Structure 1
Amino acid sequence: MSDIAILINTAVAVLAAVLLIVRFKVNPVIALIIGSLYLGLSTGLGATKTIETITQGFGDIMVEVGLLVAFGVLMGSILNETGAIRRLVEHLLNTFGPKRLPYSMALAVSTALQTIFLDVLLVIAAPLARRMAPKIGKHGTARIATAMAIAGEVGIVLMVPGVGAVALAGMLEVPLGKMLIFGLLVVVPTVLISVAIMTFFFDRGFWKAQSDEQLLAADEPHQGAGTTNNAGGSGEVQAGTGAAGTASAATTVQTAQRRETHLFLLFLPLLASLLLIAGGALAEILGYEASWIQLVGNPVVALLIGLVGTITVARFTVGQKAIDRGVSKGFKESGQILLLTGVGGSLAATVSTAGLGDIMGQFFSASTVAPLVVVWGIAALLHIAVGSVTLSGITAASLLVPIAPSLGIDPVLIALAAGSGALFMVHVTSNTFWLLQSLFGQTVRGALKTVSVGVSVASIVALGMVMILNIFI
């Protein structure tokens, strides 16, 4: 088959999947499988080879990230049962004060809290953050809403153990420890710079309280405030309102018991697992090959240690029933994440087998800058079409897997560029957009400024950080 025919059929497969998701509301898992089937059959792989490629691609990516996603989701779900998130927000407020709350919360949400589903974070943290908005200073609502939007979305696709970041690393065969270290180097400056840029815009008249804010009937959102996940939403495959309500599910006795546990102890297993992963990556870079470091620094073992530690702390904090509740919800919510990641691997395998990598490699110059911009642009266009951060990042990565070796760029930069592009233009097709709009008392116009513009600024800043890293590696 000619190169042009392969390119056309690949474009048709991707556009058909997008159309099925956006226009006909087909679940992305089904839409991507249909796209993979079409691509395999239309490029002459044949029925048997197409099915084998799809199933092998699914299995290969599950080998890479299956346990990582499951352990991370379970850890976050159990951690949520301990009430640690609300206590962390209160601690940040007391430590850094209201005026620095947007920055401190943004850093916490985008890094350490990425095992928690974004809608859970928003529903739990938003009431306190909103009450603090007047104390933050001028345009407090705009600043805190923007900080939460930027931090949540950036963390999901760029910071391990965010589900998008783990999926991108697995698909592009980037060691998770390396993704963690380089993701942190991108996430921290991206969040701080983006929040500062948006604050500058707000102070120059970009925010109009009269038309961008609305009065809320009550301080606390009701349980139904969090929209249920549709996979065409923000793509984070969130826990939904049922999981978000778990913060208030504990009894009064459990709440009192919870307050007796030091906040650092609640987060210690999670932090320890991240340090072990980072330590394993550094040991590999330095050539230190001690077997015990290779064992505990392995991401699967490190997250298992974190999960066991989180369960142990939770048992003494909120009891076995809360753990069982968290595990049940974690298993329930990890299913769709794993399926979405797996079919992304299926599409990647089909694209590679169809021969797209060899063809597209000819269209990229030897420059180490332009390809990253193109990677960013592919993910950005997919996100504008689909409205899903994680889905667009995974789909972009699946198209880039066969091309990556020909670019002459470290795969971690390709993963970060794809994740950065997937952030561009979060808009009304995203469930995160509507959560932020309702929970922070914004009008739709206000949410377009804080969410759509704010996260798009972060997308561009993140690309800049990735290109700076490209100079040194």
Structure 2
Amino acid sequence: MGEDMMLIVYLVIALAIMLGVVVFFKLNVAMALVIASLFMGIASGLGLVGTIEGISNGFGSMMRDLGIPIGLGVILGKLISDSGGAYSIAHAIVTKTSEKLALYSIGLAAFVLAIPVFFDVAFLILVPLSVQIGKQLNKPLPYPVGAIVIGAALSHTLVPPTPNPLAAASILDFDLGIMISIGAIVGFIATLVTIKIYFVILDKGFWKKETDEDSTMDNPYGKMEIPDNPPSAWIAIIPIILPSIMILLGSVGNVIYDENPEIITFLSDRIIALLIGAIAAYFVAAKSLNKKQRDASSSEAMQATGIVLLITGAGGAFGAIIQSTGIDQAILDIFVSDAQSVLSVILLAFFMGVLFRTITGSGTVAGITTMTIMAGVVTGVDVHPVWVAMASLSGGLMLGHVNDSGFWITTKIAGLSVKGGLKTYTTSEAIAGIVVLIITLIGAHIF
């Protein structure tokens, strides 16, 4: 067996170790990533010391690029959520559309909300509102629940400042402004298309209330405490769009100037942009939260950031070890043909993302690990790296199931059975992943 193929075999074994550690020993996925990294490095000949150094360097490199931005992004989202601003945005989007488009507006509201906040927060905010609208429209539970899952999942997966899309520009070395623009456009289109496809499937009798809903739950639709005097939707959305505008300023500057002026480079840096967004969120939240409450909200956000940073860093460590082995070139040699290089790279990134998501249950791990592996591959192919990022992320969106916390949040909060969770969370995200893949393949061949 050739050296390239042996590296592939080692990678498969490392993935199997990761799966075994998570499923059978119930260890945290971050610990599983470190254990898999140790095996991969030692087996592929990096040596004991070299493997440890690779893990440390990979973790440190990822934290250097993303640690502060992720923390600031979480603070921003927590303040907007706790102040009631997120609810104001959602309510404004849903109430300003016609009854015919109400369920689509729920999906778009979820898409907007999940840009600054995590999936579970966006879901909790929208579930009571969406279920009420579903009852008014005489639509079964999976219609409003599925719309929320689709919009929130696509936004969380494709649009910075959530960890995966934020990491994409650093890992694959391209302009973050491009990731914001492409992620937002593709995500918006994919949200509408996926909701339509999912509703067509539901219209054909896919849902069975008797087996797919859990009638034993006392409070199936969750509850979010909204302050009495939340900021308006227009005010609350400022901290969300302001960082994106600042980052895009740098992208525009790259087109206008041979080299961006220092002030534009400074203002468009992701740390500065998200710092300004977090400060804006702090002032916006002042309408409904006093200083003590805002400080408490920020502190809770930082506590929640810990596990996200640990998993993100561990994913970077695993990716760095894989990259150190030269497996990127092995993948290029074995799987990517000269005749169909762009198609092969896009599909390879997609299916690797699917594999990692299915095994680990974490879209963050799936996206970051896949993009790190593909970083070396993409340099040898005539395709913009943003499309490799989109393929990796869309694969990481696929097949979330019982080893995914989002699955249980959706299932338990919405009052579904496990079968119902598979029919909403898993099915809708699978459709979304395929829709994004199709858009990515088109985009990669046009731009």
Common fold: TM-score over 0.5: yes
Structure 1 residue 167 displacement after superposition: 2.8
Give the percent of matched residue pairs that are identical in Structure 1 and Structure 2: 26
Give the 3 Å change call, closer, same or farther, for CA 41–444 of structure 1 in structure 2. Answer: closer
1:319 aligns with 2:290: yes
Q: Residue in 2 aligned with 1:454?
A: 428
Q: What displacement does 1:222 show?
A: 5.7
- Equivalent in the alignment of 1:296: 267
Query: What's the CA shift string for 1:53-111, capped at 9, x where partnerless?
Result: 21111111122211111110111111112012222232223211444232222223224
Question: What's 1:306 paired with?
Answer: 277
Give the corresponding residue for 2:160.
160
> Could you say which residue in structure 2 is the equivalent of 1:428?
402
Structure 1 residues 359 and 44: CA distance shift in structure 2, 3 A:
same
**How far apart are residue 287 of structure 1 and its match?**
3.7
Q: Name structure 1 gaps, 5 residues minimum.
A: 224-246
The count of residues paired between Structure 1 and Structure 2 equals 442
Aligned counterpart for 1:273 among listed residues 224, 239, 243 = 243
Give, in angstroms, the shift of residue 137 of structure 1.
Answer: 4.2
Correspondence list, 1:223-242, <5 A: none
CA distance 1:217–1:99, shift in 2 (3 Å): farther
Question: Which of 388, 401, 414 does residue 440 from structure 1 map onto?
Answer: 414
Distance 1:213 1:275 in 2: 42
Q: Is the 8 A contact 1:348 1:401 kept in 2?
A: no
Q: Distance in 2 between matches of 1:419 and 1:211?
A: 32
1:41 matched to 2:42: yes
- Counterparts in 2 of 1:131 and 1:112: CA distance versus 1, 3 Å: closer
Letter in 2 for 1:60: S
Q: Is the 8 A contact 1:100 1:136 kept in 2?
A: no
Q: Distance in 2 between matches of 1:277 and 1:472?
A: 25
Change (3 A) 1:210 1:9: closer
Letter in structure 1 aligned against 2:85: A
Q: Report the Cα distance in structure 2 between the residues aligned to 1:345 and 1:283, rounded to whole angstroms.
A: 30
1:17 aligns with: 18
CA RMSD, aligned part only? 2.2
Name the CA shift for 1:218/1:27 in 2 (closer, same or farther; >3 Å): closer
Gaps of 5+ in 2: none
Deviations 1:415-448 (A, max 9, x none): 1101101111222222222222233333333322
TM-score in terms of structure 1 length: 0.87
Q: What is the alpha-carbon distance in structure 1 between the residues aligned to residue 256 and residue 20 of structure 2?
A: 47
For the Cα contact (< 8 Å) 2:94–2:109, is it kept in 1?
no
Q: 1:210 to 1:53 in 2, by over 3 A?
A: closer
The answer to whether the Cα contact below 8 Å between 2:86 and 2:113 also exists between their aligned partners in 1 is: no
Distance 2:308 2:214 in 1: 34
| Mapped contact 1:111–1:184 kept (Cα < 8 A) | no
- Contact residue 376 and residue 422 of structure 1 kept, 8 A: yes
Within the candidate set 234, 254, 264, 1:264 is matched to 234
Secondary structure of 1:357 counterpart: helix
Alignment pair present for 1:151 and 2:123: no
- Give the whole-Å Cα distance in 2 for the aligned partners of 1:298 and 1:39: 34
Q: Is the 8 A contact 2:367 2:393 kept in 1?
A: yes
Spell out structure 1 runs of 4+ moving beyond 6 A. Answer: none
* Pairs within 5 Å for 1:95-244: 95-139=96-140, 141-215=141-215, 221=221
The amino acid that maps onto 2:206 is F
- Per the alignment, in what secondary structure is the counterpart of residue 77 of structure 1? helix
The one-letter amino acid of 2:88's match is R
Tell me, in whole angstroms, the C-alpha distance in 1 between the residues paired with 2:199 and 2:14.
41
Q: Tell me: CA distance 1:311–1:134, structure 2 relative to 1, closer, same or farther (3 Å).
A: same
1:247-306 deviation line (CA, Å, top 9, x unaligned): 53x7xxxx33x24x3221122122111122223223324446233322222222111111
Kept in 2, the 8 Å contact 1:145–1:440? The answer is yes
Q: Is the 8 A contact 1:171 1:345 kept in 2?
A: no
Tell me whether 1:417 sits opposite 2:387 in the alignment. no
TM-score by length of structure 2 reads: 0.92
Give the Cα separation in 2 of the matches to 1:423 and 1:464. 14
